[in-house]
Amino acid sequence: MSSGKRDTVIIACVTFEVDKIVSPVLHYEAARIHLLSSSTGEDVYSEFYKEVCDQIHQKSPKTEIIPHRSKYDPVTGYDGFTVFDFQSVMNEVLCIIESEKASSKDLPQIFVNISAGTSEYSAASLMASMMHYDIVKPFTVSALEYAVPIDKVRDIYYRDGKPVGQTIRSREPRSITSYPIEKPDEERVLALAILKEQIELGDTCAATMMKRLNQAKLFDDYDVRYNDKPEQKDIMRYQRNFVDLWIKDGWIEKVSKRKTRITSEGESILKVFSNSYAIKRESGE
């Protein structure tokens, strides 16, 4: 029988970060963390991996650490996944997600750390998260303080007086496989942008919203002559096609019978998609 309590699980990759991995464990009160690493066992990566584990054991002793270490042979190299290969590390992350879903009585809430680790891991784990958006939430961690102070950057990241960054030479670019990711409905996003404007104006009544949506060509077959007293069928259509779906998607919530607010999820949707959708509509695509 379901207990109703969902475990919080984190997936992270260890290369040269410590606090960016440990701090989220405390923030999310993780029951367990899957740590991916391609340390050979005798390199600098292993030192960072050990420090991450030591700090988690010390600061969050109840958190279970589940290691995912690449198999490495000094002669033949890596066998299986490595955090430096997009396809193999994406496979590893997807397998972790599926195993968590299969082994838990209550679907866990999985958080994926995309701010630490290799660029291949970050891209792969973000895409994997979006394929399981119902239970997986990717997150980022910003630095408050850097190990290399700004006045030392030229000493470390410059050569012969010129900036080179962290990489002196690069390998050839490798394309990665694209996967379809469903975007939020265009009309609902554009309509939400109008709702936000009306919230700021203090008028979100159905009559005003239907008029604005009709002007934006988002609410057809609406006679503006009835704007002051719209027909019930139009009110129900607005409620069914927009309001109910906004609530279902978690983009808005009712504060009171007549007052609505846009949630942080809704604000994020607007910040990411509203401008590009508006450009697309203006261009007539």
Using 50, 70 and 90 to split pLDDT, how confident is the model at 225?
Answer: low
Residues 63-92: tens digit of each pLDDT: 999 999 888 777 777 777 889 989 889 999
pLDDT of 1 = 38
Residues 16-71: tens digit of each pLDDT: 999 999 999 999 999 999 999 988 777 899 999 999 999 999 999 999 999 998 88
* pLDDT, mean over the chain: 90
The DSSP annotation for 191-255 comes to: HHHHHHHHHHHT---HHHHHHHHHHTTSS-S--GGGSSS--HHHHHHHIIIIIHHHHHHTSEEES
Instruction: Report the top-level CATH class of 8-147.
Output: alpha beta
Go through the chain and tell me how many residues it has.
285
Using 50, 70 and 90 to split pLDDT, how confident is the model at 253?
Answer: very high
